[in-house]
Amino acid sequence: MPANTVKLEPKNRLSAADWEQAALDTLAESGLAAVAVEALARQLGVTKGSFYWHFATREALIQASLERWEHSDEMEVLAPIEAVADPRERVRELIRQVSHRRPSHAVFAALLKSVDLPLIRPFIERVSQRRIDFVTEAFHQAGFDATTAANRARLAYSAYVGFIQLAQVGQPRMSHDEFEAYIRDFIEILIPH
Amino acid sequence: MPANTVKLEPKNRLSAADWEQAALDTLAESGLAAVAVEALARQLGVTKGSFYWHFATREALIQASLERWEHSDEMEVLAPIEAVADPRERVRELIRQVSHRRPSHAVFAALLKSVDLPLIRPFIERVSQRRIDFVTEAFHQAGFDATTAANRARLAYSAYVGFIQLAQVGQPRMSHDEFEAYIRDFIEILIPH
DNA sequence: GGCCAACCATACGGATCAGTATGGAGAGCG
DNA sequence: CGCTCTCCATACTGATCCGTATGGTTGGCC
C-alpha cells in the first residue's frame, strides 16, 4: 500500500469543518433546534465526546457555522452580480438568481425563525443590511431618488423574505410555469421600464 | 354584603379562556417555546395542577388558543373592510389597517416561526389562503386579469409577511415618518392609479 | 349542614439535552 | 519501543419540561 495518506480516509477522524458543515445541513433541513450535539454526533457516527473536543460549546459551533455560511453567501450571490453594469439589469439578474437557487435560502429561512436569539440576530441583521443596501444602491443608480430607492429595496427584500417563508407552507401553490410568471410580474412591478 | 356575586372576584379560580388568553399573550411576546404549562402557571399564579384540569395536554391549549385567535383575526381585520365598495380603495384601506395595528401581527409572526410543526401549519395555511384570496379578488375586481391579480396579491402578501419578520430585527430602521412614507410607496407601487 | 363537583397544590416519573470527567485507542516521532 | 498528543467513547450530573397520581380546598345546592 502506498504510504503518504495525506487527506484520505475521510471515514473516521473528523475535523471542526465537518461539524460545521453538518450543522449547516441540519439547520437548513430541520431548523436550529435540530442542531443538537448528540443528534449531530449520531448523524456523524460518533459521540458527544468528539464534539466537545472540537468545540467548547454548542453556541460556539453555531457561531462558527454561521460565519462560514455568511461568508460563502456573500461571495456566491452578491459578488458575481456586482459586475453587471446596468443597475436595472443588475436587480433583474439578482431576482432571477435568487429565485432559481433554492438550497442556500434554506439556511436563511431557518435563521429567520430564530431571530429572537441573541446569537442569531446579528447574522440576520448583517446579511439583510448588505442585501438591502445592494438593491437600494442599484435603484438609486437607476434614477430613483434616495428615499424611493430605499423603499423599493425594502419592498423587494421584504417580498423575498416573505416568499421563502410562505414557500415552506406551500402557500403560493404554484406550478413551475406559474412561478416563472410570478417572477416576471415581480420584476415588472418593481422595476418599471 | 350583597349576595349575587355573579362574576366578581377574578382573582382566583381560572377558566379555560384565561389560559388561552395567557397562551396567546406569551406566544406573541416570547414565541411558541415560551408557551409552556409550568411557565404559564407561574405567570397566572397557580401550578400545573390547575392547567391539567382545564386541558388534557399542552397541544390542546395551543389548538384552542389558535382557533380563538384565528376567529377574532378574521372578524376584526378582513370583515370590516369588505364593506369598502371600490376594490382599489379596499386594498389601500387593508394595507393602512394592518400597517397601523401591530399587536395582532405578533401572534402571526410567532406562528410563522413554528410553521414546520404539524400543529401550527394548518393555521398559517388557512389564514394566508384567506388573505391572499381576499386581495386577489380585489385586484381582479379592479380590472387586472386573473393571473396578474394573483401575482400582485402574492407579492403584496409576501411583502407583508417579510416585513413583520424584518421588523423584529429592527432591520428597516425607520422613523415613524419614514414608515408612513414607505406605506405610501408600498401602495403606490402595488396599486397603480 | 352535609355532599358533590369544580378547581388547584404537591409530588413524582420519565424523557431530553447541554456540559463534565475520565479513560482509552491510534498515529507519529524520538 | 515507548511516549505523547490527537481524537473519541463511556458514564455521569443537572436542568428543564410534559404528563400523571393523588389529595386537599372551596363554593353552590339539596
For residue A49, the tally of other CB atoms under 10 A from its CB is 8
The yes-or-no verdict on residue B169 having pLDDT over 90 is no
Residue B115 in contact with partner chain A when CB distance is under 8 A:
yes
Using a CB-CB cut-off of 8 Å, the residues of chain B touching A193 are none
- Alpha carbon of A27 to those of A47, A64, A161, A167: distances in Å? 19, 13, 17, 17
The yes-or-no verdict on residue A8 having pLDDT over 50 is no
Using a CB-CB cut-off of 8 Å, the residues of chain A touching B124 are 169, 171
- Which is more confidently placed, B24 or B5? B24
Query: What nucleotides of chain D have any atom within 7 angstroms of a protein Cβ?
Result: 7-11, 17-23, 28
Band (pLDDT 50/70/90 cuts) for residue B141 is very high
Task: Give the pLDDT confidence score for residue A128 in this predicted structure.
Answer: 95
The reply to whether A47 falls in a domain is no
Smallest Cβ–Cβ distance between A159 and the set B116, B128, B158 belongs to: B158
CA distance B131 to B151: 13
Please give the average per-residue pLDDT across A133-159, as a whole number.
96
The yes-or-no verdict on residue A154 having pLDDT over 90 is yes
CA distance B128 to A171: 7
CA distance B78 to B39: 33
Residue B34 in contact with partner chain A when CB distance is under 8 A:
no
Residue whose grid cell is 412561478: A179
A114/B114 touch (CB, cutoff 8 Å), yes or no: no
Q: Which of A158, A185, A188, A189 to mutate to test the interface with B (most CBs of B within 10 A)?
A: A158
Please give the average per-residue pLDDT across B22-41, as a whole number.
97
Task: Give the pLDDT confidence score for residue B1 in this predicted structure.
Answer: 38
The reply to whether A116 falls in a domain is yes
CATH number, domain containing residue A141: 1.10.357.10
Using a CB-CB cut-off of 8 Å, the residues of chain A touching B115 are 113, 165, 168-169
Please give the share of chain B, as a percent, with pLDDT higher than 90: 77
Number of folded domains that form chain A: 1
Using a CB-CB cut-off of 8 Å, the residues of chain A touching B189 are 152, 155, 189-190
Which chain A residue has its CA at the smallest distance from B167's CA? A158
The yes-or-no verdict on residue B30 having pLDDT over 50 is yes
Smallest Cβ–Cβ distance between B185 and the set A128, A148, A159 belongs to: A148
Residue A143 in contact with partner chain B when CB distance is under 8 A:
no
CA distance A114 to A120: 7
Ranking A11-15, A154-158, A189-193, B124-128 by mean pLDDT, the lowest is A11-15
Using a CB-CB cut-off of 8 Å, the residues of chain B touching A189 are 152, 155, 189-190
Parent domain of A90:
65-190
Q: Which of A27, A98, A130, A151 to mutate to test the interface with B (most CBs of B within 10 A)?
A: A151
Length of chain A: 193
Residue B94, burial from CB neighbour count under 10 angstroms (0-12, 13-18, 19+): buried
Distance B51 CA to D24 C1' (A): 17
At residue A40, what is the residue type? L
The reply to whether B130 falls in a domain is yes
**Nearest CA distance, A32 vs chain B (angstrom):** 11
The reply to whether A134 falls in a domain is yes
Question: Which pLDDT tens digit goes with each residue over B144-162?
Answer: 999 999 999 999 999 999 9
Band (pLDDT 50/70/90 cuts) for residue B2 is very low
pTM of the model: 0.90
Q: Report the mean per-residue pLDDT for chain B.
A: 90
The yes-or-no verdict on residue A9 having pLDDT over 60 is no
Question: Which pLDDT tens digit goes with each residue over A39-69?
Answer: 999 999 999 999 999 999 999 999 999 999 9
CA distance A79 to A74: 7
Smallest Cβ–Cβ distance between A121 and the set B124, B161, B169 belongs to: B169
Question: Which pLDDT tens digit goes with each residue over B113-122?
Answer: 999 999 999 9
Question: Which pLDDT tens digit goes with each residue over B63-115?
Answer: 999 999 999 988 888 888 999 999 999 999 999 888 887 767 899 999 999 99
The reply to whether B40 falls in a domain is no
The reply to whether B123 falls in a domain is yes
The yes-or-no verdict on residue B171 having pLDDT over 70 is no
Query: What nucleotides of chain C have any atom within 7 angstroms of a protein Cβ?
Result: 6-11, 17-23, 28
B93: left (phi over 0), alpha (psi -120 to 50) or beta: alpha
How many CB contacts within 8 angstroms connect chain A with chain B? 118
The reply to whether B13 falls in a domain is no
A158/B155 touch (CB, cutoff 8 Å), yes or no: no
Ranking A111-115, A128-132, A133-137, B77-81 by mean pLDDT, the lowest is B77-81
Please give the average per-residue pLDDT across B18-40, as a whole number.
97
The reply to whether B35 falls in a domain is no
At residue A123, what is the residue type? F
Task: Give the pLDDT confidence score for residue A2 in this predicted structure.
Answer: 36
Q: Report the mean per-residue pLDDT for chain A.
A: 90
